[in-house]
Amino acid sequence: MIPITETETNSALNSLHKKYASEMKNLGCTQNWIKRISSDNSLVCQYRPLEPDRIINALADYLITWREKLYLPAESNVGEKREKMAVENILEYKKILHENDMGLDIYRKKFSKPMVKTIEEAAFGSEPSLRVHKNNKHTNNSGKKPEKTKKSEKEVEWTSEAESYLQEAPKFVRSKIKTKAEEKASQTEKEKITLDFIKNLRKQ
């Protein structure tokens, strides 16, 4: 699904939409929430099978149009007001996708509420990921040496059962779960993280 901003519903995007609109049929109830995060000039292909060549051609057409109509003419400094509006719109977009993610029920049954909370924090967090570029500098011109990440005094071992259980979690949250488990183990002076320890931790 490729959302298009309302201000960019120009002839180029309209012609693309007409070219591939025949594939946007039989979406059922998903059509309602799709409209909340996208304009009429969008291509929806994950809900309806398309021939591989047609998907690739459609994606190429849209990417070329986006590059010419949106990326290249983009202003280097859009201003604080417009930036805030863009951040809010994208976060709303992510929230709607999150609310309609059928996979969340699977996570709830397998990992309970703490896992869902971890996924939400990874998706949104106390500081939206959209602002990371402001907080992290890619170059250091201060002359100071970067601070080294503090390592725990004693590494905690994982049992094979606990390690296997960790691998069942979504890839993008494993490191966060592992860090939390090892911090808790260090606080309780445990030398090994067991399967029971992880299961008890997720209930907290």
- Find out whether 130 and 90 touch, Cβ atoms under 8 Å: yes
User: Which pTM was predicted?
Assistant: 0.30
10 Å Cβ neighbour count for 159? 15
Sign of CA dihedral 64, 66, 70, 76: negative
Three-class secondary structure of residue 78 per DSSP: coil
**What digits encode the pLDDT tens for the residues 20-48?**
665 555 555 555 555 555 555 454 444 44
- Domain boundaries, given as residue ranges, for the chain: 6-77, 101-124+154-204
Is pLDDT above 50 for 55? yes
